[in-house]
Amino acid sequence: MAIRFYDEALYEKIKAWDSDNRLTILKPQDVVDLFEQIADQKYDKPLQLPLVTLSREPTVSILSTNKKPLTFDGKRINHTTVEFEPGMTEEQKLDKIYDTPNLKAASLNAIPIQLNYQLDIFTRRYDEGDEYLRNFIFQLINYPKLKIEVPYNKNKVEHVCTIRILPNVEDTSQIPQKLFKDQFTRWTIKLEIDDAYLWSIPIQPVWKVVETQVVSRTTNREEEIIS
């Protein structure tokens, strides 16, 4: 689990910047058949501009392919619900957790990945596209934080990552889908998230050490040296 959470979070972030509701913003999964749907006479609808499409490149880069503690023994998060009385100390809370029957915990394991996105801005006029481009660049640079919520057991684990805008912004108006030269303009912004993760949350029992016994293994010669 994870990739779709980044798609949805990035879409919602960009959608929130449309204060005047003039844009038609498409999610990555909606962009794939955009022009095929427009060309299909059965489902043909006028192309409403301005239009912003968000697509993710099909290749997902796995940044670490070796087994590490993060991949199989990550952060422990409480799985069994334990209620604490007001005023309990940390020691009392721990005692109650360990005294709870059938207590289980979840291990939040992760593998770092990199996701690459493309933001396309379609407008009728060049000056209109230039204005939208300026606004998106400032928003992406000044507000790069993206919060992901990973659900587990009716709860959510939050992860904050960073959107990075790549330096080359392109005027990609000359595409085959245009019917004539000045039909629309298109600006393309490339984005990447290189602190994203694939998540795994296995559930494991919590063990409590009830009694310990310390056994001395020193020899007589060692005891003489110690004395």
Q: Can you tell me the mean pLDDT for 83-90?
A: 78
* 146 confidence band (pLDDT: 50, 70, 90): very high
41 CA to centre of own chain = 37
Q: State pLDDT tens for residues 151-202.
A: 765 667 788 999 999 999 998 887 654 444 456 788 999 999 989 988 776 5
Which of 42-46, 95-99, 113-117, 170-174 is predicted least confidently? 42-46
Is pLDDT at 210 greater than 90 in this prediction?
Answer: no
pLDDT of residue 168: 93
Neighbouring-strand partners of residue 199: 110
Can you tell me the mean pLDDT for 13-17? Answer: 92
Query: Does a structural domain hold residue 99?
Result: no
Q: What is the mean pLDDT of residues 109-135?
A: 90
Looking at residue 63, its pLDDT comes to 87
Whether residue 115 lies inside any domain: the answer is yes
> Do the domain assignments include residue 152?
yes
pLDDT at 43 over 50: no
Query: For residue 108, what are its two tokens?
Result: 């939040």
H/E run at residue 29: helix 28-31
Provide the percentage of residues in the chain whose pLDDT is more than 70: 62
Range of the domain at 189: 3-77+111-201
The pTM of this model reads: 0.69
- Compare 206 and 137 and report the one with higher pLDDT: 137
The stretch 6-17 carries a mean pLDDT of 92
Number of domains in the chain: 1
Instruction: Kindly state whether residue 64 falls inside one of the protein's structural domains.
Output: yes
Distance CA 194, CA 200 (A): 18
pLDDT for the residue 227: 47
Q: Which two tokens stand for residue 12?
A: 């919602």
- Residue 86 in domain: no
Torsion of CA 130, 136, 138, 140, to 10 degrees: -150
137 inside domain: yes
Q: What percent of the chain has pLDDT over 90?
A: 26
Residue 124 covered by a domain: yes
- Residue at 170: amino acid letter: E
Average pLDDT over residues 14-42: 71
Tokens coding 15? 């959608």
Work out the mean pLDDT of the chain and round it to a whole number. Answer: 76
Could you tell me which residues come within 8 angstroms of residue 218 by beta carbon, excluding any fewer than 6 positions away?
A: 226
> Where residue 169 sits, what CATH number does that domain have?
3.30.2000.10
Q: Which residues pair with 117 in a beta bridge?
A: 56, 191
For the range 88-91, what are the long-range contacts, defined as Cβ-Cβ under 8 Å and sequence gap of 24 or more? none
Domain-embedded: residue 45: yes
pLDDT for 211: 57
208 has a pLDDT exceeding 80: no
DSSP for 77-107, written as a single string? EE-S-----TT--HHHHHHHHHHSTT-EEEE
- Give the per-residue pLDDT at 45: 54
d(CA 148, CA 2) in angstroms, rounded, equals: 9
